[in-house]
Structure 1
Amino acid sequence: MSQPSSSAVDRLLVDAAGRRPRADARRNVERLVEAARGAVAEVGVGVSAHEIARRAGVGVGTFYRRIPSLEVLLQAVLEEVLDEIADVADRAVADPDAWNGLHIFAAAYVRLRTESCGISEALGGACGDALAPRLADLRERIRHLVERAQSAGAMRTDIAWQDVAFLFAAAATEERTLGLRAGEQQWERNLQIVLDGLRPARSSTLPGTPPA
């Protein structure tokens, strides 16, 4: 399931030119990628080039001299983050304890969806077909983790892996709903409830405190 991956910075530099970039050019691209990751997490995939340039401390002219387009930058950043979560899934598959592997992946995945607005949007299809190969790979990893846990007898077999994809998405949470404020570990509580529901017959102590 694994595929070779490179950093967003390396992809952008290779795409921009076949020659080796100057050190200052690389530094600018690194700053833009870091700024884009933060902006995507906080603002979402609709973030503007001006906002990313501002966060990076460069002008918009520098942005477009170093980056082919806003769309190319956002795709490179989103692919980098999705590659990172795919790496977590691969390590989870390598865990000799199938349930522990699923739990480790689920925690990393739900945390990412909770903390990054843009990744949550991208996983929901906001980027169209641009990320289709990455999403297909991630679906395959989730399927493998679920079926492995079921084969080990650690998970209910009446639940499809597709159900689990939606359950993990549902465990990610907003800060407020119905006038209630989420607890500091709300997504962890949500996920623990989901995981307990996936077990054949077992429950765990919930982390954190209930919403206020």
Structure 2
Amino acid sequence: MTSPAPPPTSDGPRLRVDAERNRQRIIAAARLAFAELGVDVPMEDIARRAGVGVGTLYRRYPTRADLVAATFETKMTAYADAARQALADPDPWHGFRDFVEQICAMQAGDRGFTTVLTMTFPTAKRFEADRARAYADFIALVDRAKAAGKLRADFVTEDMPMFLMANAGVLAATADAAPETWRRLVGYLLQACAVPAAQPLPDPPTAGQIYRAMLRTTHQQRDGQDPSD
């Protein structure tokens, strides 16, 4: 006589539902914490905000980089999509201008965004693919605006990180007192990019120099230092 089969259990599906719920809570908590305080928020603080144990957080995201990449994946996709949409604009200058304004607005809304742009995540394939897509489209956007005679000929891709660093400084200085000041800065920068306003500029920094500058600024902001010190 064979033994009856054990009754079906719902533990498997239930555990998967619980795990997904925890994942969503962790990502939501990390997104808010990174936007408010930057990406160096203690993992314990994120676990507390999410209402989960630290062990649960580390089982899902073994390293801070894993959590950062997962948290900013949708933001990086939005970044890449913004470049693609700008490239589709029939007016090359309008597309370039809208892209710069949109990325600076993303930066204004999320303190961690600029930091993430200086980081690489080799295991986050989608994240890195979106980054590469955004960069390629930005190069095409710049070339198209120049070819149309709208963007100054000496604009280089390294100027965009420089804009973001300048914007970060204004955001940090005016966040409490005049949080919309960054829009005026971006307006000035865009006017300076337009051909009618173009005047000779000093040589631009190299890609390596601007990357090191971004890393230095990021580290100083993490440590609570003034980048000008």
Q: Which amino acid aligns with 2:145?
A: A
CA RMSD in angstroms, aligned pairs only: 2.9
2:135 is the counterpart of 1:139: yes
Q: Is the 8 A contact 1:175 1:182 kept in 2?
A: no
Match of residue 197 from structure 1: 192
Q: What is the Cα deviation at residue 128 of structure 1?
A: 5.1
Rounded to whole Å, the distance in 1 between the matches of 2:80 and 2:113 is 13
Q: What is the Cα deviation at residue 142 of structure 1?
A: 2.1
Match of residue 171 from structure 2: 174
Which residue, out of 70, 81, 85, partners 2:64? 70
Match of residue 227 from structure 2: none
SS at match of 2:158: helix
Aligned pairs for 1:26-41 (under 5 A) are 26-41=20-35
| Percent of matched pairs sharing the same residue | 36
Give structure 1 stretches of 5+ with no counterpart.
Answer: 1-18, 203-212
Rounded to whole Å, the distance in 1 between the matches of 2:140 and 2:94 is 14
Match of residue 80 from structure 1: 74
Rounded to whole Å, the distance in 2 between the matches of 1:49 and 1:148 is 43
Rounded to whole Å, the distance in 1 between the matches of 2:121 and 2:18 is 33
SS at match of 1:45: coil
Give structure 2 stretches of 5+ with no counterpart.
Answer: 1-12, 198-229
2:181 is the counterpart of 1:183: no
Aligned pairs for 1:1-150 (under 5 A) are 22-123=16-117, 125=118, 127=119, 130=122, 135-150=131-146
Q: TM-score, normalised by structure 2?
A: 0.68
Could you list the runs of 4 or more consecutive aligned residues of structure 1 that deviate by over 6 angstroms after TM superposition? Answer: none
Q: More helix by proportion, 1 or 2?
A: 2
The superposition leaves residues 70-114 of structure 1 with CA deviations (integer Å, 9 ceiling, x where unpaired) of 331112223332122111111111111111211221112112223
Q: Is the 8 A contact 1:143 1:162 kept in 2?
A: no
Q: Is the 8 A contact 2:84 2:134 kept in 1?
A: no
CA distance change for structure 1 residues 68 and 20 in 2, over 3 Å: closer, same or farther?
Answer: farther
Q: What is the Cα deviation at residue 136 of structure 1?
A: 4.2
User: Computing the radius of gyration over CA atoms, which structure comes out larger, 1 or 2?
Assistant: 2
Aligned pairs for 1:152-167 (under 5 A) are 152-167=148-163
Q: TM-score, normalised by structure 1?
A: 0.72
Q: Which amino acid aligns with 1:91?
A: Q
